[in-house]
Amino acid sequence: MKIARFLTEEWMNDYERQAKYNLTDTSCESLTMQDLLKLDPHALDDVTLDYGWITGLSELRNEILSMYQNQDEKTLALTHGALQANELAMNLVLNPGDHVITIKPGYQQFSDYPRFLGCTATEIELNPSDWSLSMDTLAKAILPETRMILFANPSNPTGTWLDRTQLEQLVDLCKEQGIWILLDEVYRNPLYPDQEAAISDLYDKGISTSSLSKIYGCAGLRFGWMKACPELIARVHSMRDYMLISTGPLVEQMAFVVLQNRQSIIENVQKVVAENKAILNKWLESTPYFKLNMPEKGTVSFLQLPEGTGSTKFAVDLLEKTGIFFVPGSTFGMDGYVRLGLAKKHDDLASILQRLDKFTQQWLEKNGKEDAQK
């Protein structure tokens, strides 16, 4: 079977190595194995490389469960990253001919993987003035054959975020028809589970997926999980026998170290995000070229280019001339933007932004768009 090329990932693969200033990464500063071994110097003393407990280390499972209101052991399955958790959820819930609803701009896995499975997908455009999701538009998009609504919350690349009240509205829309809601919650801050609700805590057909890749800075562990009703989780465990067997004792042990220390790890990230946001907000007041809806949550945002600017050519030229690296909005099916990450440490973000402005001025002059300011 054929699947569409994953444009964002391909762009990252093709160009990321040339980046001198990576302003587009969605993860926070990555931790190293040495960082983790400092947190627990004995973590690897007793790790045997067999399959381990097939459903995963029980201490690790308990740490994950503690980040949700529903802590039923039967509601959790471990996976290789949130991506695999999403894949499993879609594989097990969707049938050919089903209809799904996702948001645009959004993560391509949520539109093209359902299509790969023989479903149709409606992509609801977010309101570009504040990247909000209109519940009315969403309600109107529901068809009799709609089986799943799925997106990331907070979302990539816009930072769009539904709070508990909005999630409850969403559940109300889905309940009668029994529509599943799959939310990728990799950007959710789990330190305050009451404030940032998980969909699996609000709805029996709510599926929460997450991982250590974004706000924990441990993408390299390739570790994630799914929280959902016991019936779906039992089916995930059956399917895991065909797809992965287990996530393995090495990764599980290191994931346990990360989650045990999540308070300090996440607080460090929040500090970096706050510092970056302060610098960016100051720059946004002065830049004649760029506009941004600064998101309240998450570690990503979607930076608006001067009107009429083709994001692909702009991003390629910018990288070549300055080493500043962005994923263009075109890879999200929405030109005129680039994805701006908020959680990376930079030596001097303010001066990188000055270089960005200077390049943009010259680029617009050269490309005959002198007047294409914001």
Residues of this chain that bind a second copy (CB under 8 A)? 1-3, 5-6, 9-10, 12-13, 27, 30-34, 36-37, 44-52, 54-55, 80-81, 83-84, 87, 91-92, 94-95, 108-109, 112-113, 116-117, 213, 217-222, 235, 238-239, 241-251, 254
Task: List the structure tokens of 121.
Answer: 């997908």
b (16+ CB within 10 A) / e for 89-128: bbebbbeeebbbbbbbbbbbbbbbbbebbebebbbbebee
Residue placing its CB nearer to a second copy in the complex, 206 or 249:
249
Question: Backbone phi, then psi, for 141, in 5-degree steps?
Answer: -80, -10
Residue placing its CB nearer to a second copy in the complex, 44 or 316:
44
What CA–CA distance (Å, rounded) separates 208 from 89?
10
DSSP β-bridge partners for residue 338: 303, 328
To the nearest whole angstrom, how small is the minimum distance from the Cβ of residue 367 to a second copy? 31
Residue placing its CB nearer to a second copy in the complex, 117 or 273:
117
What CA–CA distance (Å, rounded) separates 84 from 65?
19
To the nearest whole angstrom, how small is the minimum distance from the Cβ of residue 255 to a second copy? 11
Sign of CA dihedral 134, 139, 141, 147: positive
Residue placing its CB nearer to a second copy in the complex, 109 or 309:
109
To the nearest whole angstrom, how small is the minimum distance from the Cβ of residue 199 to a second copy? 21
Sign of CA dihedral 30, 32, 35, 39: positive
Task: List the structure tokens of 62.
Answer: 């308990």
Task: List the structure tokens of 265.
Answer: 């790890």
Task: Check: CB of residue 213 under 8 Å from CB of residue 341.
Answer: no
To the nearest whole angstrom, how small is the minimum distance from the Cβ of residue 92 to a second copy? 7
To the nearest whole angstrom, how small is the minimum distance from the Cβ of residue 9 to a second copy? 4
To the nearest whole angstrom, how small is the minimum distance from the Cβ of residue 72 to a second copy? 19
To the nearest whole angstrom, how small is the minimum distance from the Cβ of residue 200 to a second copy? 21
Contacts of 271 (CB under 8 A, 6+ apart): none
What CA–CA distance (Å, rounded) separates 130 from 101?
20
Residue placing its CB nearer to a second copy in the complex, 147 or 297:
147
First to last CA, the chain: 44
What CA–CA distance (Å, rounded) separates 188 from 138?
22
Residue placing its CB nearer to a second copy in the complex, 75 or 246:
246
To the nearest whole angstrom, how small is the minimum distance from the Cβ of residue 7 to a second copy? 9
What CA–CA distance (Å, rounded) separates 161 from 153?
5
Residue placing its CB nearer to a second copy in the complex, 183 or 254:
254
Task: Check: CB of residue 177 under 8 Å from CB of residue 142.
Answer: yes
Residue placing its CB nearer to a second copy in the complex, 7 or 279:
7
Residue placing its CB nearer to a second copy in the complex, 238 or 362:
238
What CA–CA distance (Å, rounded) separates 44 from 173?
47
To the nearest whole angstrom, how small is the minimum distance from the Cβ of residue 246 to a second copy? 7
